[in-house]
Amino acid sequence: MGKASVLIYIAVAVLLLLLVSHSPKKPSHHRYRRLKLRSNFSPDKHSSHHHHEPVPFDPLVADIERKREDKQWEKKMYFEQAHKELEEAPAAESQPEWEDFMNAEDYLNDEDKFNVTGRLVLLFPKIDVDPADGYATENELTDWILKNSEREVMHRTQREMELHDKNRDGFVSFSEYEPPSWVRNADNTSFGYEMGWWKEEHFNASDADGDGLLNITEFNDFQHPADSKNPKLLQWLCQEEIRNYDEESHNPSHESDDSTEAPARKLFAELDKDGDGYLSDVELLPVIGKLHPSERYYAKQQADYIISQADADKDGRLTLREMIDSPYVFYSAIFNEDDESDYEYHDEFR
Ligand SMILES: *[C@@H]1O[C@H](CO)[C@@H](O)[C@H](O)[C@H]1NC(C)=O
Ligand SMILES: *[C@@H]1O[C@H](CO)[C@@H](O)[C@H](O)[C@H]1NC(C)=O
Ligand SMILES: *[C@@H]1O[C@H](CO)[C@@H](O)[C@H](O)[C@H]1NC(C)=O
Ligand SMILES: *[C@@H]1O[C@H](CO)[C@@H](O)[C@H](O)[C@H]1NC(C)=O
């Protein structure tokens, strides 16, 4: 092969590469995307603190998802009761309810029944409240998402409560409480144990009125201490944080590596107001929300994502028009940012 033909080969290859990488993405893909519901429900997952899923933007969608979850939950509870002796559930049991699931999705994708534009027109004035000026700002969107997520969190707590409130009196006592399976199964070096999560001290701190029982509000705080307004519980969270820090700093395997610990040192110095080399829980209180992301933190993240996707004129806020023009940001996209990743999973149901 001559030098020239090799050069031509290379040129053609490069050209092809360029063509492939620059070919416009199928533009109409967007319009025909199917609205989706989340399908990977698992009752334990949401209390694991390792994972945080976006919440549905539209309360109606949230409602549909909740009803489906409830069904799966009831099935699971029934199954566990009926088959306590059986160690391993048959695989079929862990499958989502495809039939309900598909009916709900068909409903969402039937424009006559579920009109996305109509929904956004209806929701907009509920979001744009502070002030009602025709723009949905980051704060307004964050508040909106936070409200939705608090509803979802409370719903899950009610479910958890059913699980733990063995005598069905509407309260959970410490003796009734059993740590969730992810804590029981974990070895005690894992997150939950280190944090002293699920211990009596944590329980007592959640018990705002000190009657030895957690009602639903207190039980919700118990499960989500970073979102609590109960000062006793926040204090406990800070104390755990300090205990953790002290253990790590006295652990020889954590001997200083200045490059990575410098930011931590700096933060420490800033927080250690009285400069005694120790952080008191009072000194930690202002940053506890950063160490333990709250629902508000995630809601803000989700709001920022929504704005980044739908804000056509880049003024940092959304008009109704901009929302209507990017409906999938508010519906399927927030459940499923990467459309392709679960393609094979749903493919047979398309
Ligand atoms: C959906 O709602 C919008 C606004 O309310 C309306 O203009 C449109 O015709 C509706 N589409 C259908 C299919 O009903
Ligand atoms: C940690 O695990 C060991 C053995 O698995 C057990 O003996 C010990 O009691 C556990 N510690 C706590 C605090 O649960
Ligand atoms: C929690 O409170 C109960 C009284 O309600 C008390 O008996 C128990 O010792 C407390 N436990 C801890 C770890 O503080
Ligand atoms: C639960 O108890 C707390 C006081 O500890 C109270 O403020 C709250 O309203 C109670 N929640 C319910 C649902 O009764």
- 55 exposure class (CB count in 10 Å sphere: 0-12, 13-18, 19+): buried
pLDDT of residue 244: 72
Does the beta carbon of 212 sit less than 6 angstroms from any atom of ligand 3? yes
Name the residue type at position 182. Answer: W
- Which residue is closest in CA terms to ligand 4's atom 10? 217
Q: Which atom of ligand 4 is nearest to the CA of 215?
A: 1
| Nearest residue to 221 via CA among 212, 231, 145, 211 | 231
Ligand 4 centroid from CA 213, angstroms: 11
- Give Cβ neighbours of residue 108 (< 8 Å, ≥ 6 apart): 35, 37, 61, 64, 114, 331
pLDDT of residue 41: 47
Q: How many CA atoms lie within 13 A of 47 on its CB side?
A: 23
Predicted structure pTM score:
0.70
pLDDT in tens, the chain (350 residues): 566 666 666 666 655 555 555 544 444 344 456 777 775 544 444 444 445 778 899 999 999 888 888 887 787 777 776 665 454 444 444 455 566 677 888 888 888 889 999 999 999 999 999 999 999 999 999 999 999 999 999 999 999 898 889 899 999 998 888 665 666 666 655 555 544 456 788 999 999 999 999 999 999 999 999 899 898 998 888 888 777 766 766 665 544 454 555 666 677 777 787 877 777 777 777 777 777 788 999 999 999 999 999 999 999 999 999 999 998 888 864 344 444 333 333 333 32
| Proximal ligand: closest to the CA of 324 | 1
| Nearest residue to 196 via CA among 241, 249, 248, 165 | 241
Does the beta carbon of 209 sit less than 6 angstroms from any atom of ligand 3? no
pLDDT of residue 49: 45
Q: Which atom of ligand 1 is nearest to the CA of 116?
A: 1
Give the residues surrounding ligand 4 with Cβ less than 6 Å away. Answer: 208-209, 215-218
| Nearest residue to 315 via CA among 307, 325, 324, 304 | 307
Query: Among 199, 203, 204, 213, which is best to mutate for testing ligand 3, by the most ligand atoms less than 8 A from CB?
Result: 204
| Cα–Cα separations (whole angstroms), residue 201 to 48, 189, 280 | 19, 19, 18
For the chain, the residue count is 350
pLDDT of residue 111: 86
Report the 10 Å Cβ neighbour count for 85: 5
pLDDT of residue 261: 57
- Find out whether 37 and 105 touch, Cβ atoms under 8 Å: yes
